[in-house]
Amino acid sequence: MAVTIKDVAKKADVAPSTVSRVIADNPRISATTKKRVRKAMKELGYHPNVNARNLAVRSTQAIGVIMPSSAETALQNPFFPEVLRGIGSVAHETEYSLYVSTGGNDEQLFEEVKRMVYGNRVDGMILLYSRDNDPIMDFLIQENFPFVVVGKPYQNESQITYVDNDNISASKEITKHLIDFGHEHIAFIGGTTDLVVTKDRLTGYLDALREEGIEYVDDYVVHDEFLRSSGRKAVEQLFSLEKPPTAMVIADDMMSLGVINMLEEFGVDCPEDVSITSFNNLYLSEITRPPLTTVDIQIYKLGIQSAKCLIEQLKSKDEPAKRLIVPYAIKYRHSTRKLD
């Protein structure tokens, strides 16, 4: 059907192997021959067949990107397109292709991953989430398949290369900001607790309270699905307390949106009645009312770095496990208020 390496070989009057080496820019081929072969390729409109190549070298030039199962509304979080953009950017320069997972639920996701691994569809993968007892991560480790995770692995931390923010100190810093503003009744609203990112952010919050000598109130920490129910439950719960919080640390910009929305329904104004700090610095967070004070975790950069790490790892098989912390930066906007 299509034009193959043989056709080119014939036209350039060389052997197929020579053509192959020209493609690989093998130094064994003289410049003049290369020129001739390349000319033939152009004229014939030759393009190598990746499948054949992959079969021969036993590698695809592809990396798999595993997102949380799409049943979770989490996927609607613009976080994902944004990391994807970062990953895609390095994938493009290095000529890797991107495979994305399609699983709707956890089981399907797992199937998908197996297909990728066993079927030799990808050379390595990037996990875009990290949760407790993740069977997928376990599987990858057991199969000794190259992967990197965006976020902190729930275990085997030292043997897995991952890129993450220092969520603990970010969280600590931002809740201290609240404390500096005179707040003492600070709530924490986080997503499902089996995401390690949630745990880290909670830890930072707790650390701040402790270090500043502020009493921890159990009722002040609530967990809710990231998007689901728009944080309604959380808000209801918090503002029916006899002493409602005057500030809150929310673990994700999208949640914050939901919360602010609920707040209004309850007649609570932000930042007048309650200050809010958040995480991620999605594009959205600056066009909401009020614009959110949030920690910029540099999503795009997370994507870039994870892809780079993975590719390095693929290149030299026994690259040591790395940990890469991308710095965060707090964006101070208008969702917090100094208490008088």
Partner DNA sequence: TTATTTAGCGCAATCGCTTGCCAATAGGTT
Partner DNA sequence: AACCTATTGGCAAGCGATTGCGCTAAATAA
What 3-state DSSP class applies to 186? strand
Convert residues 58-97 into a mask of x (bound to DNA by CB under 7 A) and - (unbound): x---------------------------------------
- Residue pair 296/330 in contact (Cβ under 8 Å)? The answer is yes
| Beta carbon of residue 187, minimum distance to a second copy (angstroms, whole number) | 19
Distance, CA of 210 to CA of 329 (rounded, Å)? 23
Distance, CA of 78 to CA of 203 (rounded, Å)? 25
Determine if residue 149 is left, alpha or beta; phi over 0 gives left, psi from -120 to 50 gives alpha, anything else beta: beta
Q: Interface with DNA includes 287 (CB under 7 A)?
A: no
Interacting residues of 68 by C-beta distance below 8 A, sequence separation 6+: 74, 75, 109, 128, 129
Backbone phi, psi, residue 62, to 5°: -140, 150
Please select the residue that binds a second copy; options are 35, 39, 47, 315, rule is CB under 8 A: 47
Q: Interface with DNA includes 18 (CB under 7 A)?
A: yes
Residue type, 194: D
Please select the residue that binds DNA; options are 25, 38, 43, 48, rule is CB under 7 A: 48
Contact partner, 338, from DNA, a second copy, none, Cβ < 5-8 Å per class: none
What 3-state DSSP class applies to 221? strand
Omega prior to 68 cis, within 30 of 0: no
| Beta carbon of residue 117, minimum distance to a second copy (angstroms, whole number) | 8
Q: Interface with a second copy includes 294 (CB under 8 A)?
A: no
Chain contacts with DNA (rule: CB under 7 A): 1-2, 4-6, 13-18, 20-21, 23-24, 28-30, 32-33, 46, 48-49, 52-53, 55-58
Binding residues for a second copy, per CB under 8 A? Answer: 1-2, 47-52, 54-55, 58, 60, 62, 70, 73, 75-78, 80-82, 84-85, 87-89, 91-92, 95, 97-104, 108, 112, 114-116, 118-121, 227, 230, 257-258, 260-261, 264, 282-284, 286-289, 291
